[in-house]
């Protein structure tokens, strides 16, 4: 079998100090294909090239690494299986052009290679409203939202009337807006309904910006009540390899660093059973523990979510991240966690997921998946 892996995300990186043993001999020429600038002349190795190097080193098949320039028909047709760690969504983000999204997708559909992750999964995950509604229908906990199609004639005044009504129903003064699929710059924003109604300028200019973003799949502006617990309690990112639970990381993102272009400020926490004290002593801040009984509950919900993914001939995804948000008043005990998001080529946080060898885990999951495809 002839395997290719498309790389080039240039983010989600790991510093050389934290390389696992098997990664230490990675050639500079490979690093250069996907590295992230950290400032001060320093670079981190992007997670996609780390994973790809693992597969290349340990798979019994020939594994070729492709980059942006190789996303073309003649190239794709040379392979039996293509793993798109750099996927249509990343490409569109880079080019800022919706045409590259349809171009890459068409290539996936028409090439003779099996492409992973499957398009059906991509489409599902990029339509947050669609999967949130599906999860809700199957009694998976999610939080409510309303949505507005992103189009030229969006009217911020009528939108605000609807949002105001909804905020009263939710009993909240604060709401958040996030464009779907998001990731093109104008992201998440928190609003105070009273202030917005008394002066609509900021909201209008936000809508103006949202309209100018690249639109792919089903462009929507999602509105949710502001969940203050995101700022104080851990969002638990659970990782699943070929349908089985692998590990988790809790994160609290400093809200002032959200929706801006720079690095997000993040605090991390880890499940009790996965907690590696020795490893975490090397961190800038000693991370907290996440109660194991919470993880047990989230694993149950996660399994349900996996059942609800679109069925694909290639089977369950080799990698999936299910993020759970919290609406509790207790940081360590589980009550009302909900599914906030699903990701199919998620950030792995290799710099902060050193309690497991996350690049190896994903590499192994890919090797396992390739075996199953035969």
Ligand X SMILES: Nc1ncnc2c1ncn2[C@@H]1O[C@H](COP(=O)(O)OP(=O)(O)O)[C@@H](O)[C@H]1O
Minimum Å distance from CB 224 to ligand X?
Answer: 4
* Residue from 235, 287, 320, 369 binding ligand X (CB under 6 A): 235
Considering only residues 314 through 353, tell me which ones interact with Mg ion, judged by CB under 5 A. 341
- 67-72 contact pairs (CB < 8 A, 24+): 67/6, 67/7, 67/8, 67/33, 67/34, 68/8, 68/94, 70/4, 70/6, 71/6, 71/103, 71/104, 71/107, 72/107
- Work out whether 188 is an interface residue with ligand X (CB under 6 A): yes
Contact 2, 83 (CB under 8 A): no
241 sits near ligand X (criterion: CB under 6 A): no
What's the closest the beta carbon of residue 198 comes to Mg ion, in angstroms?
Answer: 31
Site for Mg ion in 93-112 (CB under 5 A): none
Tell how strand 320-326 and strand 337-343 pair up: antiparallel
Smallest distance, ligand X to C-beta of residue 243, A: 22
Among 9, 52, 159, 176, binds ligand X (CB under 6 A): 176
Least distance between ligand X and beta carbon 36 (Å):
18
User: In this structure, what DSSP letter does residue 257 have?
Assistant: G
Return the SS3 of 40: coil
CB under 5 to 8 A by kind: which of Mg ion, ligand X, none does 224 bind?
ligand X
| Closest CB to ligand X among residues 16, 264 | 264
Helix axes 47-58, 358-373, angle to 10 degrees: 50
92 part of the interface to ligand X, by CB under 6 A: no
Least distance (Å) from Mg ion to the CB of residue 323? 6
Closest to Mg ion by CB, 339 vs 367, is 339
The CA-based diameter of the chain, rounded to the nearest angstrom, is 64
CA distance linking residue 93 with residue 54, whole number of Å: 26
Q: Which is nearer to Mg ion, 178 or 247 (CB)?
A: 178
For residue 12, the minimal CB distance to ligand X (Å) is 13
CB 211 within 8 A of CB 154: yes
Does position 177 bind ligand X by CB under 6 A? Answer: no
Radius of gyration over every alpha carbon of the chain, rounded to an integer in angstroms: 21
Other CB atoms within 10 A of residue 282 CB: 10
E strands in 164-291? 174-180, 189-192, 220-225, 235-241, 244-253, 266-271, 288-290
Query: Shortest distance, CB of residue 191 to ligand X, whole angstroms?
Result: 11
Choosing from 31, 253, 266, 327, the residue that interacts with ligand X (CB under 6 A) is 253
187 in contact with ligand X (CB under 6 A)? yes
Nearer CB in complex with Mg ion: 55/342: 342
Burial pattern 350-370, b for ≥16 Cβ within 10 A else e, equals bbbbbbbbbbbbbbbbbbebb
Which of 1, 30, 119, 258 forms a contact with ligand X (CB under 6 A)?
258
In the list 105, 122, 246, 340, the residue contacting ligand X (rule: CB under 6 A) is 340
Give, as ranges, the residues between 195 and 234 that touch ligand X (CB under 6 A): 224, 226-227, 230
Output 154 or 258, the one with its CB closest to ligand X. Answer: 258
Of 251, 226, 246, which is closest to residue 236 (Cα–Cα)?
A: 251
In the structure encoding, which two tokens stand for residue 169, read together? 């129903």
**Cross-strand partners of 36:** 44
Site for ligand X (CB under 6 A): how many residues?
14
- The binding site for ligand X (CB under 6 A) comprises 176, 178, 182, 187-188, 224, 226-227, 230, 235, 253, 258, 340-341
- The binding site for Mg ion (CB under 5 A) comprises 341
């Amino acid at each position: 079998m002839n395997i290719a892996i498309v790389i080039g995300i240039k983010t989600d990186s790991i510093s050389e100090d934290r390389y696992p043993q098997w990664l230490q001999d990675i050639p500079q020429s490979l690093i250069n294909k996907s590295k992230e600038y950290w400032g001060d002349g320093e670079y981190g190795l992007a997670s996609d090239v780390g994973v790809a190097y693992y597969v290349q080193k340990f798979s019994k098949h020939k594994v070729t690494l492709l980059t942006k320039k190789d996303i073309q028909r003649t190239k794709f047709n040379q392979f039996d299986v293509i793993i798109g760690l750099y996927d249509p969504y990343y490409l569109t983000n880079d080019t800022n052009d919706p045409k590259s999204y349809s171009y890459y997708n068409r290539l996936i559909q028409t090439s003779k290679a099996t492409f992973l992750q499957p398009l059906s999964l991509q489409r599902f995950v990029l339509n947050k409203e669609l999967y949130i509604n599906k999860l809700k229908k199957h009694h998976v906990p999610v939080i409510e939202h309303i949505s507005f199609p992103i189009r030229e004639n969006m009217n911020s005044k009528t939108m605000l009337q609807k949002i105001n009504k909804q905020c009263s129903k939710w009993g909240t003064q604060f709401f958040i807006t996030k464009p779907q699929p998001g990731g093109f710059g104008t992201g998440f924003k928190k609003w105070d309904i009273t202030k917005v109604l008394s002066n609509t300028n900021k909201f209008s200019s936000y809508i103006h910006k949202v309209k100018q973003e690249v639109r792919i799949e089903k462009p929507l502006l999602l509105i949710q009540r502001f969940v203050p617990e995101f700022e104080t309690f851990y969002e638990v990112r659970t990782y699943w390899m070929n349908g089985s639970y692998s590990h988790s990381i809790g994160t609290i993102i400093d809200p002032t660093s959200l929706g801006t272009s720079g690095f997000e400020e993040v605090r991390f926490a880890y499940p009790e059973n996965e907690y590696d004290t020795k490893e975490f002593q090397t961190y800038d801040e000693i991370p907290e523990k996440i109660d194991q009984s919470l993880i047990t509950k989230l694993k149950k919900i996660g399994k349900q979510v996996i059942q609800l993914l679109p069925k694909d001939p290639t089977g369950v995804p080799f990698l999936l991240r299910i993020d759970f948000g919290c609406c509790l008043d207790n940081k360590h005990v589980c009550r009302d966690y909900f599914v906030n998001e699903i990701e199919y080529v998620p950030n792995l946080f290799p710099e902060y997921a050193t309690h497991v060898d996350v690049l190896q885990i994903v590499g192994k999951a890919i090797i396992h998946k390739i075996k199953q495809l035969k």
